[in-house]
Structure 1
Amino acid sequence: MILVYTGDGKGKTSACTGQTVRAMGQGMKVAFGQFMKRDGQAGEQTMLAQWLGPRFLAGGLGFLRRDEERPAHREAALRVLDWAREQLLEVDMLVLDESLYALGSGILLREEVEDLLARTRQQDKHLVLSGRDAPDWLVETADLVTSMTEIKHPWRAGIKAAPGIEY
């Protein structure tokens, strides 16, 4: 199955982490990669690294802020993509957090994501993708799509990100 967690609200990475825990609880082998996030940025990374060992990779450089950073981000994305292709051969489920951010910013290409989708289906595996702005072609292709919608968020009231809540 192809699962997509998208939308402008909080909870996409949390949904990916929950999906990972659920699959592991069913005895499935899972790999979890993050495209934009650097290692050591968020609490879930600590736990995923403990649970998954080398099947966890936070391979990003942070979010793309300036266009001159694009080549370095593209290189990092290609490293995560190569890792993901290798993992897909070994696991039942591959989770790629912030893959849609990478896709939307042009760091990942549509044909690269389509190749992963095809490999997933050919190998009868599960692929979980997350990030804002899932493109229509992906929504059409996916088996399950959930959109997180922000109703209210504390940062709009000037409250800073909190450990264990935001990261």
Structure 2
Amino acid sequence: MKKKENLTDFKDDIIGWEVHEYEKHERSRPWYFIAVSIAFLLLLYSFFTSNFLFAFIIVLASLVFVMYEGQIPGIVKISLTDEGVVVGRKFYDYDEIKNFTVIYKPRLETKNIYFEFKNVFRHRLSVPLEKMDPIVIRENLLKYLPENHERTDPPLSEGLAKLFKL
């Protein structure tokens, strides 16, 4: 019987670091009060308009939020190899990635790599750099991928998530 290959075992780990699975925000009591009020108002609206699917989505999103709120984010290992990018147990081959962007803006507390995929149905991959040197990361990625010079700011979705502490 053939042994299953470990996806994270590659010949050459060029650079590796660890990050939190997701960013955990500190939220105040007023934030929770506003969030519950908005959810309640949306539920009322959905019942008055007989949109029960919307009500189900609001309840489901609230349950997911409550589940994640009590958890501590796990640690994920990031590796740049000579074959692709490893994020935790997932491997992304350089052939699947269209381009990358390194955004380093200390004033906005942003220090991330963004990978865009060739497949339009795949969402952009955002990887925090934390204490890594963005110049070294960029120089290593340029050996394998083109850089997207058009993206100069973090995506709007990340800015809104940070603003609303989601």
Task: Please report the TM-score for the alignment, with normalisation by the length of structure 2.
Answer: 0.26
Q: Relative CO higher for 1 or 2, CA cutoff 8 Å, sep ≥ 6?
A: 1
Normalized per residue, the structure richer in strand is 2
Normalized per residue, the structure richer in helix is 1
Structure of larger gyration radius: 2
